[in-house]
Structure 1
Amino acid sequence: MENKLFYQDPYITAFTAKVVIQGKEDNGNDYIVLDQTAFYPTGGGQPHDEGTIENIKVINVEEAEGEIRHYLESELDDIYSTVHGVINWDRRFDHMQQHAGQHILSAAFETLFKHKTVGFHLGNEILTIDLETENLTEIEAEKAEQMANKIILENRIIDVKWVSEEELSRYPLRKETKVKEDIRLVIIPDFDYNGCGGTHPKATGEVQAIKILEWEKQKKKTRVQFVCGNRVIKQLSQKNKVLIELTKLLNSPEKEMPKSVTRLLENGKNTEKELEQTLEKVLYFEARSLLDHSTEKRIVSEVFQNRTIQELQKLARIILTEDEKAIVLFVSQNENRLQLVGARGSADRVSMKRIIGDALTLIKGKGGGSDSFAQGGGEALLSADQMLEYLMEFIQKELLKNN
C-alpha cells in the first residue's frame, strides 16, 4: 500500500513520481503507471479522482492487474522522467464528504430501524443507498437524517485501521468485509465500523450536513436519494432559485405555492376540457359540410394539410355516426409524410384494411385496422391529391365488384 498516497493522507493535493509503465489496452486506450500516486482509482462505489500529470488532464484512473492506471488526455513526451501530479481537490473533497456521509446515514438507518444498506452509488449530483426494506416511512427517514446530522455536529473522529482477518472479531462490523487480507476499516468510534477502500475526512464535522431528498421502492428494497456537504448548499441554492421564479410567475408567496399550483392545474384541466368540447363541435360542423358535398354514392373524400391522424379518425367516426351508409377517404400531408384514413358504414362490404394497406405500399408506409376502419402513414412519395385519386379509383372498382 506504500505507493497509494491517497491512503497515507487523503489531503495530499500534489506529488511527484516516476513513470514505470506506459501501456496500451486491448481497446487501444493508452495509460501510464507511476511508482506512487495520489490519484484514487474508481472502486467501492466511489468515482476516480481527476487532475493533471505534467499539466496533462487525467481523464480516468482504474486499478487493474495489481497496478493503478492513469489515462491521460495526451501522451507524455518523456515517459521515464519524474512527473508532477496535481489532484482536483474540489472533486476529491466532495467525494470524501459524500462517502463519509453515506457511512453515517447507513449506520443511522441500521442503528434505529435495522435497515441494512445493500447498495451504494455516488453520482455527480446525488448519492443513493439501497435499504433492505420494502417500506420506508417519512418518520423513519426524518429520524435517520436527524441522527446522522447529530453525529456530524459532534465532530467525531473518523479513524482508519488496517487489520487482518483474525483481528476483525474485535470490531462490531456493520457488514461483512469482502476482502480477506489488507482489510481497511473506516471507524466512527461507538457508532460505525465498516470495511471500506474509499477516501474520507478526518472527522465527521467536515461532512457538514446530510439531507435526504426522496426515496422510492425498488423491487423488495428502498432506494434513498440524498446529498452531503457542499452538495446540500448547492441543492438549497437550486431549489431556492426555482421557488423565487415560481413565486413571481404565480404571484403567490412560498407557503401558498401548493394551493396556487393545484388551482393552476385545475384551471388547465377545465380549459383543456372546454377546448375538447369546442373541437368536437367544430368537427361536427365540418363533418356535416363534407357530407353535404359528398358524391351520390356517399363517398366523403378530402385532402388536408397538417392534420393529425387522431383528428382524422375522429372526423371519420362523426361522419359515420351521421350517415351509416357513407364511405370516408382522408389524406393529410404533414411535411414529408402522408397520413391515410379509410372508413365505411354498414351498407357496403368493401375492406378498408385492404384498400389502405394497398395504398401504403406506394409510400413505404405502415398501418392497421379492420375491414370497416383502417389508417396508416408513410413517406410523401406521392402528392396528397395523387394519393386520394388512387384511393378513389380503388374504391370505385371495389364498389363495382360488389354490385
Structure 2
Amino acid sequence: MTKKRYYEDAYLQTFQAGIISRGKEADGTSYVVLDQTAFYPTGGGQPSDLGYIADVAVVDVEEVDGEIRHRLAAPLADEIVEVTGTIDWERRFDHMQQHTGQHILSAAFDELIEAPTVAFHLGRETVTIDIATSDLSAEKAQVVERLANQIVLENRDITARFVDEAELAAMPLRKPPTVTENIRIVAIDRFDYNPCGGTHPARTGEVGMIKILGWEKAKGNTRVEFVCGLRALASFGQKQTVIKELTRLLAAQEFELPAQITRLLAERKELEYQIGEFKSLQLEQEARELLNTAVPVRSYLVVKQVFANRTIQELQKLAQLICTQNPAAIALLAGTGAKTQLVFSRGTDVKLAMNALLKETLVLIDGKGGGSLTTAQGGGESQKPADELLVHASGLIETSEE
C-alpha cells in the first residue's frame, strides 16, 4: 500500500520511489504501485495527474482498494525496481488553480446567496459547479464573482492538513467530511474551511482571475460554468480575437456589435423567407411542366421523372404539387445519388394505395420505406437504374386492381 501520497506537497514535481507491485488491467493496460507517489489519483471531481515514471508516460492514476495504480503507456522492464516520477507540472498547476478557484467561488455563493455547492466537475476546458438554487440572476452572479476575485487579490494563506476530532469540531466547515478518519481540511484564511484531498496552492493569489462564463438549470439546481487563472486568460484572449475580427468584418465598433448582428439576423430571416417563396413558385412551375409530360395509364395521368441531387423533402413537395394541380395525377419521382430515393403520390381522384405500390417497387433494390395510401417514400442501394424502377411501378399501376 502506498505510504506517502500526493497531498503532502502539492508543489512536488519529481520524486524517487520503489515499485511495490505491477499488474495489468482488464483492457491490458499495465500499471505499477509505488511505495510513495506525488501523482494525484482521480477523485473528488478532479482528474488525475499525468507525467512519467521511468520515462514511460503515465496515462491515468486511480486509487483501487487502497492502492494507487499508475497506469502506463507501456510496461516497465522487470529489472526496474526503483523509479523516478515526474509530474506534468503545467497540468498540475492548472488543476490547482481551477480546484482552488472552485473552493473560493463555492464559498462566495454560499456566503452571499446561501447557495451551497452540491456537485463539482473539473473539465478540460472549463469547470462547473452545481449550486442549490434555481434562481441565479446576472446581478447575483456578478456580486459573487466580485467577492471571489477580492479573496484572490488579498492573497490569503491556504493551508492543507489533517485534523483530529477536537480541531474538526471547532472549524466552521462549509460541508461535513465524507470520511471518518484521515480527515484533511483545506482552509482559506478567514474565508473557507473545506474537507478535501485535492491539490491546492499556498496562497489565493496563485489562483488568478476567477471568471463566470454562464449558467443553466440542472435538475432543480443551477450549473455554473467558470474558469480560473491561465484558463481565464486564454478564454479572454480567444474572445478578444473573435471580437476584433467581428469589428473588422462588420466595420463596427465593439459596442455596436450586438445591434449590427441583430440587424443582419433579421435581414437573413427575411431573405430566407423570400428564397422559400421563390422556391415554392419554382416548384409550382416545375409541377405544371411535368404534368405536360404525363402519360395516360388507365384513367390516370402518370408523371415519371428521375432527378439528381434533389433532397427527399423537395421530391415530396414536388409530388404533392403535381397531384394538387391535377386530382387524377400519380407522381412517380426518383432521386439518385449514394442511394436511390423514391416518392410516390396520388391525386384525390386516384384510389390506388401508394404505400403498397412503393413496397412492391422497393423489392427490386432491397429497399425500405413507408407512408400512407396517398403518399409514400423510401429508398435503397442503387442496384437498378432509377428509371427502370419507375417503369416497373407504372406497370404495376396498369395491372393493379382498385
Q: How high is the TM-score relative to the length of structure 1?
A: 0.95
Which digits, 9 at most, give the CA deviation of each residue in 1:329-379, with x for residues without a partner? 11121x231111111112221111100122123223222221111111221
Aligned to 1:356, which of 355, 358, 361? Answer: 358
For 2:150, the equivalent position in structure 1 comes to 150
Q: In angstroms, what is the RMSD of aligned CA positions? A: 1.6
State the AA in 1 paired with 2:242: V
Secondary structure (helix, strand or coil) at the match of 2:295 reads: coil
Q: CA deviation at 1:213?
A: 0.1
- 2:354 pairs with 1:387: no
1:326 aligns with 2:329: yes
2:126 is matched with 126
Which segment drifts farther, 21-30 or 171-180? 21-30
Q: Does 1:342 align with 2:344?
A: yes
Question: Does 2:348 match 1:366?
Answer: no
Structure 2: how far apart are the matches of 1:21 and 1:2? 10
Please name the residue that 2:28 is paired with.
28
Match of 1:305 among 308, 332, 352: 308
Instruction: Percent identity, please.
Output: 50
Contact 2:58 2:71 survives alignment (8 Å): yes
Greater CA deviation, 274-283 or 149-158? 274-283
Match of 1:278 in 2: 278
CA contact (8 A) 1:42 1:61 kept: yes
Q: Which amino acid aligns with 1:323?
A: N
SS of the aligned residue for 2:102 comes to helix
| Structure 2 equivalent of residue 229 of structure 1 | 229
Q: 1:245 to 1:79 in 2, by over 3 A?
A: farther
Partner of 2:99: 99
Hey, what's the Cα distance between the residues in 2 that align with 1:227 and 1:109?
Answer: 16
Taking the aligned partners of 2:333 and 2:226, their CA distance within structure 1 comes to 54
Work out the CA distance in 2 between the residues paired with 1:95 and 1:209.
14
3-state SS of paired residue (1:298): strand
Give the whole-Å Cα distance in 2 for the aligned partners of 1:346 and 1:30. Answer: 70
The Cα shift of 1:80 comes to: 4.4
Question: Which amino acid in 2 is paired with 1:326?
Answer: A
1-side partners of 2:57 and 2:354: how far apart?
64
Conserved? CA contact 2:340–2:386, under 8 Å: yes
Query: Post-superposition shift, 1:5?
Result: 4.7
Q: Which deviates further from its counterpart, 183-192 or 106-115?
A: 183-192
User: Does structure 2 conserve the Cα–Cα contact (< 8 Å) formed by 1:331 and 1:341?
Assistant: yes
Deviations 1:297-326 (A, max 9, x none): 321221211211111111112122211121
Secondary structure class of the residue paired with 2:314: helix
Instruction: Specify whether residues 339 and 25 from structure 1 end up closer, same or farther in structure 2 by C-alpha distance, changes over 3 A only.
Output: closer
TM-superposed CA distance for 1:251, in Å, is: 2.3
Q: 1:75 to 1:364 in 2, by over 3 A?
A: same
The answer for the alignment partner of 1:139 in structure 2 is 139
Unmatched tracts of structure 1, length 5 or more: none
Instruction: Count matched residues.
Output: 399
3-state SS, counterpart of residue 274 of structure 2: helix
- Kindly state the Cα deviation for residue 246 of structure 1 after the two structures are TM-superposed: 1.8
- CA separation of 1:99/1:347 partners in 2, compared to 1, >3 Å: closer, same or farther? same
Q: Which amino acid aligns with 1:341?
A: V
Partner residue in 2 for 1:203: 203
Which 5+ residue runs of structure 2 have no aligned equivalent?
Answer: none
- d(CA) in 2 for partners of 1:237 and 1:91? 20
Contact 2:2 2:67 in 1 (8 A): no
1:165, 1:180 within 8 Å by CA — same for their partners in 2? no
